[in-house]
Amino acid sequence: MLTPAILGLLVFFVYPLVANLYYSFTSYDLLSPPRWIGLRNYTYLFTQDPRVAAAALNTLWLVLIMVPIKILASLGVAGLLMKARRVSGFWRTVFYLPALVPPVASVVAFVFLFNPGSGPVNAALRSVGIAGPLWFNDPQWSKPTLVVLAIWVMGDVMIIFLASLLNVPREQHEAAALDGANAAQRIVYVTLPAIAPVILFAAVTGAIAALQYFTEAAVASGVASGKSGVYTKLSDVMGYPADSLLTYTEWLYARGFGSFQLGYAAALAVVLFVVTAVFMGLLLRRFDAFNPDGRS
């Protein structure tokens, strides 16, 4: 009964990992067979590639800024739902609903809402006398606008926090209150330690997701640039505006499948694998569910 799954692992996981390492030492365009070029892809990657630094820095920005903000926002809303005793039903659905919207749909909607000319956000700002920024069309604002989107779709993380907050034993709160702890102290000494593992889990899985951040940035660049049409290759507008939205995986895609430099894309993939492995190692060490002997 396990045979298909083992075959699947071999064909779609083990073989591609090994083959990718091989391709990374070659020059390959799919038309002629791969040609061995040693470490040249890697020296180009680390010393010459004109856009890889921008791509890597944008991705790092997402890991260091977008992920923590999203976690704080989900924690805040989950805490608020607990405090107002609105843990189930209507309110939970309200805050969860945006997470359901297909990512492409939510980005297209956000590019409309935040479009500088007629967008409802800038219209609302104008009505109170504020000249809104250009959002997705301004290299300074494009990533922060994606953070707003990330907060809007925080529902999946929030649900996990909500479940773990519900698991904190009431008695611990009551005992702390009897000992004279005020509300803030109870959060710091009772709630946070109890849910710390869940926060760590959300942070590490969030970081792994941010390392492969692709759809939202690519679609935002495509639609905001006005060139998302049938006749423009998406890889030609990736990064718009001014490479501020060029992520590492977009660059991998553009080199590999926009200009079919598959060997070079494989080298970019090897570097991505090494970076991701650090975070995966952390998850495997710290979480029982990822341990073969652990239970749920």
Partner 1 sequence: MNHNTQSRHRVLNFIADNTILAVLGALFIAPIVLVLLTSFMSGRQTLTASWWPDPWEWDNYVKAFTEVPLASWFANSTMYAVLSTVFMIVSSVPAAYVLAKIKFRFSNVIFLAIIVAMLLPPQVTIVPIYVMWAKIGLTGTLWPLILPNLLGSAFSIFLLRQFFLTIPSAYADAARVDGAGEVGVLLKVMVPMTRSGIAAAAIFQFFYSWNDFFGPLLYTSENQQAWPVAYGLATFHGSHGTDWGMTMAVTMLVTLPVVIVFFFAQRVFVEGINLTGVTG
Instruction: Map the footprint of partner 1 across residues 29-88, applying CB under 8 A.
Output: 30, 77, 80-81, 83-84, 86
The residue within the footprint of partner 1, chosen from 37, 60, 87, 104 (CB under 8 A), is 104
CB of 176 to partner 1, least distance (A): 19
Name the one range near partner 1 by CB under 8 A: 60-68, 129-137, 184-192, 246-254.
246-254
Nearer to partner 1, 14 or 242 (CB): 14
Q: Applying CB under 8 A, which of residues 25, 56, 95, 186 lies at the interface with partner 1?
A: 95
* Residue whose structure tokens are 């000992």: 179
Q: Which is nearer to partner 1, 7 or 39 (CB)?
A: 7
CA–CA separation, 23 and 25 (whole Å): 5
Chosen residue from 125, 227, 236, 259 binding partner 1 by CB under 8 A: 227
Q: Cα–Cα distance between 15 and 17 in angstroms, integer?
A: 6
Residues 130-149 interacting with partner 1 (rule: CB under 8 A): none
Q: How far is the CB of 290 from partner 1 (least distance, A)?
A: 5
Nearest to 74 by CA among 194, 199, 183, 188: 199
Cα–Cα distance measured from residue 285 to residue 46, given in angstroms and rounded to the nearest whole number: 31
Give residues 267-296 in contact with partner 1 (rule: CB under 8 A). 269, 272-273, 276, 280, 283-284, 286-290, 292-293, 295-296
Residues 45 and 268: their CA atoms lie apart, in Å, by 8
User: Beta strands of 89-210 (E only): which ranges?
Assistant: none
Please list, in sequence order, all residues whose beta carbon lies within 8 angstroms of the beta carbon of residue 44, skipping any fewer than 6 positions away: 264
Q: Enter the DSSP assignment of 34.
A: -
Nearest to 276 by CA among 286, 284, 288: 284
The verdict on 16 binding partner 1 (CB under 8 A) reads yes
Backbone φ and ψ for 2, nearest 5 degrees, come out as -90, -10
Work out how close the CB of 284 gets to partner 1 at its nearest, in angstroms, rounded to a whole number.
Answer: 7
CB of 51 to partner 1, least distance (A): 16
| Distance (Å, whole) CA 215 – CA 228 | 13
Cα–Cα distances in angstroms (integers) from residue 29 to residues 17, 23, 254, 261, 283, in the given order: 19, 11, 13, 6, 36
184 binds partner 1 (CB under 8 A): no
* 228 forms part of the interface with partner 1 (CB under 8 A): yes
What string marks each residue from 142 to 181 as x (binds partner 1 by CB under 8 A) or -?
----------x---xx-xx--xx--x--------------
